[in-house]
Amino acid sequence: MLNPKKMWGQNFLRNPRAARDIVAALQPAGDDIVLEIGPGDGALTRELVTLGRPVRAIEIDPELAARLRKTFGDKLDLVEGDATDAPLPEEPFRAAGNLPYNVATPIVRRVITNPNCRRAVFMLQKEVVDKIVARPSEEEYGYLSLFVRIYADARQLFTLPPNSFFPKPKVWSAVVLLDPVDRPLQSAKEDLVALVSWSFRMRRKTLANNLAGFRDLDKRGAEESIEAASFDPRVRAEALSLEQFDALATVIRSRG
């Protein structure tokens, strides 16, 4: 009998149709391998191994890892470790997983920034997916929305109620599809991530106030940079799109 462990945020999927839909959305091509993060008791793994592709899985729980080895044998290349720092494939891969709520965001960021990732389909807390797919001026829009957009296109596929899992979580879940993309940006991605991070330090403040101290800018320098990018100096970060942040980053860089 399974004994879910709170320390690893284990909520096992109990919805076979959702598992099939996640696997169908992966659509591996060419020589892609499949990476499953947090296979748990194998509800999603059972569908993934039917794809006829090499399947690698990262599982942190030694007890579950032993069960998975016994169940799937050589159909599954199992890595026992923490998905926040375990090695990711060195070949093209497509990732899937029912991610633990407490580490979902760093795993998402790590996977979509990996140059070998071709697609990811993850089940997350619905609140996190709402943030990922949010657009400027929406309540959920913020740092995570922009970070993901720098590296990938994102769309929500479907939602799941708590009774789709054991034990039942207190919140709804959602499945998000992430397609890494190389956007034609003027700025380096690392510079944009840094700018966006500073811009959302305190949501109630104006962008100029948040940017004071960023790259040696004082408040007046921040206001001048915002104006030079053709925005109102009183604008708040949540009103700007990725393309507008890209323009602002270019201005800041040109000002030294």
Summarised one tens digit per residue, pLDDT across range 154-163 is: 999 999 999 9
| DSSP class of 169 | P
- End position of a domain, from candidates 180, 209, 225: 180
127 and 237 co-located in one domain: no
Residue 170, domain member (yes or no): yes
Cα 193 to chain centroid distance, Å, stands at: 14
- Name the domain boundary from 180, 198, 229: 180
Residues 165 and 202 in one domain: no
3-state secondary structure of 158: strand
Q: Does residue 1 sit within a domain?
A: no
Domain CATH for 242: 1.10.8.100
First to last CA, the chain: 62
Q: Is 147 among the domain residues?
A: yes
What's the Cα-to-Cα distance from 3 to each of 63, 91, 163, 225, rounded to whole Å? 10, 34, 17, 55
Residues of the chain predicted below pLDDT 70:
1-9, 256
- Position 5 scores a pLDDT of 61
Among residues 180, 206, 241, the one where a domain terminates is: 180
Give residue 221's pLDDT.
94
Same domain (yes/no): 160, 196:
no
